[in-house]
Amino acid sequence: MDTTNHFNHAYSQAPWRIQRQWVSVFLLIVLGFGMIATLYLMVTSQAAIVGREIQDLRLEIIQIEHANADLQTEFARLTSKDEVERRAYSLGFRPVKPEEIEYIYVPGYVAPKGAMLAAAPELQPSAPSIPPEYTQSLLDWLDERLQTPSRGLR
């Protein structure tokens, strides 16, 4: 009995060791939760940063589209008939008079014919040119063989 009691006493833990084990387990759990919280905050902050960058890029796209529309409007104004005439007059151009027009004859040149606006006549589809061997079904072929006497017996 004495050896059993001595054996239990040798392997029993001191109360301060048990307390240290519980504290270390508690600290490991707190450290694990802290690491998970840090990871969550990092992922969340990166998602927020990417979301903000997407918003900035969308705003930039809208601004570029507005600038493009402004440039198209300005181009339309500059190429309008009234603006082109005004600039032509300021450069010294004027409308041509019929007596000032001079035509040049070019030998061998054939003027293009006017556009034909009528619809083209519809072409009748031609009958298929498939040999009858390819259009005959197996039953038709068998029926034909049974109806006609054998060629080899004649």
Is 123 a residue whose pLDDT tops 70? no
User: Which is more confident, 18 or 45?
Assistant: 45
Residue 129 φ then ψ, to 5°: -105, 45
The pair of structure tokens assigned to 125 is 């589809």
Q: What separation, in Å, do the N-terminal and C-terminal C-alpha atoms of the chain show?
A: 122
Which residues have CB under 8 Å from 136's CB, separation 6+?
144
Q: 135 pLDDT band (50/70/90 cuts)?
A: confident
DSSP 148: S
Task: Return the pLDDT at 154.
Answer: 47
Position 82 scores a pLDDT of 94
* pLDDT score recorded for residue 48: 96
The yes-or-no verdict on residue 44 having pLDDT over 90 is yes
Residue 152 and residue 154: Cα distance in Å, rounded? 6
